[in-house]
A and B are shown apart, each in its own frame.
Chain A
Amino acid sequence: LAKTTQPISMDSYEGQEVNITCSHNNIATNDYITWYQQFPSQGPRFIIQGYKTKVTNEVASLFIPADRKSSTLSLPRVSLSDTAVYYCRTYNFNKFYFGSGTKLNVKP
């Protein structure tokens, strides 16, 4: 059974790069890895998705090692508005497994 685990919380300061790692030891061959951002009273919002190696878009990068048992979301130069809960999620055969979320607190 796929299971994702991630740190409960992280603190950072404005302008720093933040890396959040998610473990998914039982990831299956066909699983994709997706990261979401959630603000209070809102639903999760898609950030980035990948299968292997590195993926980059306008807001983040996603690093996935060769064994794919973990993934790291990298947020460059965070601002106060990046304070939110970040979820990793694996997808396999129409089943979705979310981590418990990492609460990122960005300080001035």
Chain B
Amino acid sequence: EAGVTQFPSHSVIEKGQTVTLRCDPISGHDNLYWYRRVMGKEIKFLLHFVKESKQDESGMPNNRFLAERTGGTYSTLKVQPAELEDSGVYFCASSQVLLTPSEQYFGPGTRLTVT
């Protein structure tokens, strides 16, 4: 069974540019999560999809971040325009039905560097 995949693995962009990160969850997983780890800090929750619906986006830092999950399959996270403080590693995770806290499977992350 394929795990959670993320693309690209690393992105270097200039301040003001736009970047789109992609996450493909494990097939059949309705729950999809985005997290971010800024250098030296803890992993922080960004948002949670259940199928194509945003269940909770309270962790999104500001309106420069836009997440979508059209069709309830893969998800994209767009940062526009990127700022220096957006640099970090962005993780995606997926899980099955959320009756109790179920095991989340994480992707390898996308390392974003904004210069």
List chain A positions with a Cβ less than 8 A from chain B. Answer: 4, 32, 34, 36, 41-46, 49, 87, 89, 91, 94-101
Expressed in whole angstroms, the Cα–Cα distance for A49 and B55 within the complex equals: 23
Is B104 touching A46 in the complex (CB atoms < 8 A)? yes
Of B14-22, B43-51, B72-80, the stretch lying at the interface with chain A is B43-51
Given A32-B101, A94-B48, A98-B44, the answer on whether A43 and B55 have CB atoms closer than 8 Å is no
State the main secondary structure of chain A at its contact with B: strand
Does B56 sit within 8 A of A, measured CB to CB?
yes
Is B42 touching A101 in the complex (CB atoms < 8 A)? yes
Given A32-B100, A94-B56, A95-B58, the answer on whether A42 and B42 have CB atoms closer than 8 Å is no
Is B101 touching A44 in the complex (CB atoms < 8 A)? no
B83 smallest CB distance to A (angstroms): 23
Interfacial residues of chain B within 47-95, with CB under 8 A of chain A in the complex: 48, 55-56, 58-59, 91, 93
